[in-house]
Chains A and B, each alone.
Chain A
Amino acid sequence: MAAPAVVVVGAGQAGVETAAALRGRGFTGRITLIGDEPPWAGYRPPLSKGYLAGAAPAEDMALRPASFFAERDIEIRVGDRATSVDPERRTVTLRSGLRVPYDRLVLATGSRPRQLPVPGASLGGVLTLRSRADADELRARLSDPPRRLVVVGAGFIGLEVAATARGLGHEVTVVDVQRRALARALTPVLSSRVVAEHRAHGVRVLLGREVTALHGDTEGQVQIMELDGGERIAADLAVIGVGVLPHTDLALTADLMVGDGIVVDERLRTSDPDIYALGDCARFPSPRAGRHLRIESVQNASDQAKCVAAGICDEPFAYTSVPWFWSEQYGLRMQLAGLTAGHDEVVTSGDVEGGRFSVFSFRAGRLIGVESVNRPADHGISRRLLASDTTLTPDEVRAPGFDLKKLPRTSPTERVAVRT
C-alpha cells in the first residue's frame, strides 16, 4: 500500500515539527502543510523576552528556514487558512477555495489570546501578544517616550512583558484577580518570590483586584484602567495576558469531540481515528496529572509531534513526556519540570532570597514537579527523575547537604530506585 497523504493544518511549533518528524522517520508519502502564518515567524518564546526588548534578531523567530520545506519535499501553503473539514470525503477546504484530500489529517491550530470581557477592551492601545505582528506593534509603542503600561493578568506572558517593559524604563502596573501570581502554574513559594522580584524592580503588582473597565480618550486610545472599588490608573498602553483559547473551530466542522480543546487519546488521535490533534489546541489524557489537560509549551508541541509522526507511521507510541517550561524575568531563570498541581507537600532547597533555589512538590510522598530558579542542574536532573521510576522523598530533599548532582544518573529506561 502506498504511504498515506498527510495534511497538517497550522504551520506553528506543532505543525512544523510534525512534518519534520515524519520525514525524519523516513515517511515517503505526500505532506502538505497549511498555515495562515509562515513558519519563519512562528517561534514565539522571544516575543515576550529578547525580541520585545530589541535584543533577539528576527531570524530567531524562524521555526525552520524556508529551504527546509523544499529540501524535505514538504508542500507548504502559507497565507491560506483551512475553513472546513469533510471527514466523509476526507478533504480540507481552504479559504482560497482549494480542496486538499487527505488520508491522515493533523490539526495543529494552536490557540489565541483570550479577550478581557470588560467595556473598553477594544480601545486602541489595548493589545494581546501572540504573533510576531503583535510583538512588533507592542515594540513600536514601547519605543521612545516612557509609557505607563498596565498589564492585565499575572501569568507568564503578562509578567514577562512587565519585566521586559520595566527593563526598557517604562512605568508598569500588573493587575490580577487571583490573590497570587501564576496561581495555576506555580507553587506559592515561587509565585511570591516572582512578585517580590517585580516589586523590587519597581513594578506595581496588584493582586486580588479586578479590572472593571478601560476608558479611552477622544481618539479612542486607552487612557484609564478602572479597578473594582473605582480606583483609576492612568495608562498609555494595556497588555492583556489572561490566558488563551484553543482554536477548535476547524475541529467542530468535522464533528470531532471538543471541550476546552480538541479531545484526543494517549496517541493523540481525535474521535475520528484518521485525524490527530496536538499542541496548544489538544486536550490529552495525562498519565501524570491523572486527567485530561492542555499544555501550552514548546516542549509539549515538539514532543507531541514525535508521537503523531510515529502514529501515522503505524509505530506504537504513547505521549508520556515530562512537561517542562522556562521563563526569564530580570535575572531570574525559572525552569519548571513536571506538574505541581495537587501537591500536598513542598520542600525548598537553596537560597530563595538570593534567587538560587528549587522547590520540590510531592503528592502522597511522590515527586510530581520541580521548580528551579537559577539552578539549571536541578532542573535537568529533575526532568530525568520524573521520567524514570526513581523515587526522591521529601526527607531526602530536607537532609543536610542534599545535592541532586550527587545522585547517580538515571535515564527513563532504567528502572532503579535511588536511596541514600
Chain B
Amino acid sequence: MAKITYQHPNGTVTVVDVEAPNTVMRGAKLNNVDGIEAQCGGSAQCGTCHVYVDEASTVVLPEMDPVEDDVLYGTACERTEHSRLSCQLPVTEALDGLLVHLPEAQS
C-alpha cells in the first residue's frame, strides 16, 4: 500500500491510500479523484491520464518504456520532464508519499 497525493490545478489536494496491484491512475478512479479521464482504461493509448510528478519528489518511479514516452506526445497539456502516464505507474510500497500534479485538461 502507498499514500498518494493528487494536487488539483486550483491547489486543492486529495490524499488516498492505494493498494497494489493498482496503478496511480486506478487509485484516482477508485477514490473518485477528478482530473484523470483515462479514456482507454489504462491501456496506454489515450494520454488522458497524464500527471506531473512533483519536482521535489524523491520517490523513485519505474523507468519509462518507449510506448509511454510516445503516448506522452499526445497529451492535451504541455508535456514536461515531469510528465508520466499515471496508468503506467504500478503502485508498490516504493511509491509511498508520491505527489502528482494534475493538468488543467486531459482531452
Contact = CB atoms under 8 A, between A and B. Distances in A.
A381 B73 contact: yes
A302 interface: yes
Contact of B29 (A65, A321, A375): A65
B92 interface: no
Given A65-B29, A68-B32, A71-B32, A380 B41 contact: no
Contacts of A303: 107
Interface string A172-194: 00000000000000000000000
B94 interface: no
A299 B74 contact: no
B37 interface: yes
Given A321-B107, A376-B71, A384-B74, A299 B39 contact: yes
A380 B39 contact: no
Interface residues of A, number: 36
A334 B39 CA distance: 15
Given A326-B46, A376-B71, A383-B74, A65 B32 contact: yes
Centre residue among B32, B39, B71, B78 by max chain A CB count within 10 A: B39
Task: Specify the main secondary structure of chain B where it touches its partner.
Answer: loop
Interface of A: 20, 24, 43, 45-46, 50, 60, 62, 64-65, 67-68, 71-72, 298-299, 302-303, 321, 324, 326, 328, 333, 335, 375-377, 379-381, 383-384, 404-405, 409, 411
B12 interface: no
Interface string B26-63: 00011010100101111111110000000000000000
A324 B34 CA distance: 22
Contact of A380 (B30, B32, B43, B73): B73
